[in-house]
Amino acid sequence: MTNQWNAAQYDAKHAFVYEKAKGLVELLAPQAGERILDLGCGTGALTAEIAERGVEVLGVDRSEEMISQARRKFPALKFEAVDARELRFNAEFDAVFSNAVLHWIPQAKQVISGVAHALKPGGRFVAEFGGKGNIQRLVEGFHRSFSALGMREPDGVSPWFYPSVGEYADLLERHGLEVREASLFDRPTTLEEGERGLENWIRLFRQTFLEKMGEENAQRWIREVERQCRVELFKNGSWELDYRRLRIAAWIA
Ligand code: BEZ
């Protein structure tokens, strides 16, 4: 997980991150009067949508930059900079909601433990994030590009946690959560801005890693990734990434 997000880029060019998750809010089914934690709220778009249902929502994110942007956009809502691995809530929420965040955090046990403690008895955890096989073609293109350029592959090219249904359900059950819905599904995702889309995506989501490479090498490498991935991932004038989502709904006993 990074806390160095470019919140403006995220809003301007990667709005699909929350646009595609509207169905997840339906699965959450927020009820007026409930108290809900939006874990990894980013710039607050889904926090605001949940709040519109008459719910008291707290949006938390590790990134101060995202939280500042969320506060600017939605001054009436509550946001706090909190690391998902260090939740300190105690039986306070009717539900914990999370979209497109948990794949950034390999320490899943710590997160789930915090979520389980945060829920009131009978509360629910509804989440969606990258699941087993997510962006596999892209990551393979990353590796091939280092080889093709004869560059040493730095650490952290693919830092993500993409569990299977079985692996994640097991973790949830070990923390007293009963899994009632779990699915892994392909969700091909078209990036904005045509030809530039993949570079934008890489620069937003692999920023710290690119900085380590230096700008000149980063540019060479990005051009090579585009070459390596074009046949599989460039369709009708846009880049389409091979996203796979893991969607779960689990209830605390
Ligand atoms: C995802 O939403 O699947 C994702 C986003 C950024 C980096 C990696 C995966």
Question: pLDDT at position 1, please?
Answer: 42
Q: Is residue 149 part of a domain?
A: yes
**Residue to probe by mutation, ligand 1, list 9, 17, 134, most atoms within 8 Å of CB:** 134
pLDDT at 14: 64
Strand duo 56-61 + 78-81: pairing: parallel
- Look at residue 134 in the predicted model and tell me its pLDDT: 98
CA nearest ligand 1 atom 3, residue: 130
Is 2 a member of any domain?
no
CATH number at residue 90: 3.40.50.150
Tell me what pLDDT residue 16 has. Answer: 63
Instruction: Identify whether 89 is part of a domain.
Output: yes
The span from the CA of 12 to the CA of 144, in Å, is 30
- Domain count across the chain: 1
> Is residue 60 in a domain?
yes
Closest listed residue to residue 183, CA positions, set 172, 168, 194: 168
Pocket of ligand 1 contains residue 103 by CB under 6 Å? yes
Contact by Cβ (8 Å): 108, 168: yes
Whether residue 1 lies inside any domain: the answer is no
End-to-end CA distance of the chain: 29
How many Å lie between the centroid of ligand 1 and the Cα of residue 224? 20
Mean pLDDT, consecutive 10-residue segments, the chain of 253 residues? Answer: 59 66 90 98 96 97 97 98 98 98 97 98 98 98 97 89 98 98 96 96 90 94 98 98 97 93
Q: Cβ(21) to ligand 1 under 6 A?
A: no
Task: Please tell me the pTM assigned to this model.
Answer: 0.91
Residue 30 placed within a domain: yes
Ligand 1 pocket member 221 (CB < 6 A): no
98-124 pLDDT per residue, tens: 999 999 999 999 999 999 999 999 999
| 162 Cα: distance to centroid of ligand 1 (angstroms) | 10
**Containing domain of residue 104, as a range?**
7-252
Residue 131 within any structural domain of the chain: yes
- State which of 202, 205, 233, 242 you would mutate to test the pocket of ligand 1, scoring each by most atoms of that ligand within 8 A of its C-beta: 205
Question: What is the token pair recorded at 216?
Answer: 């000149």
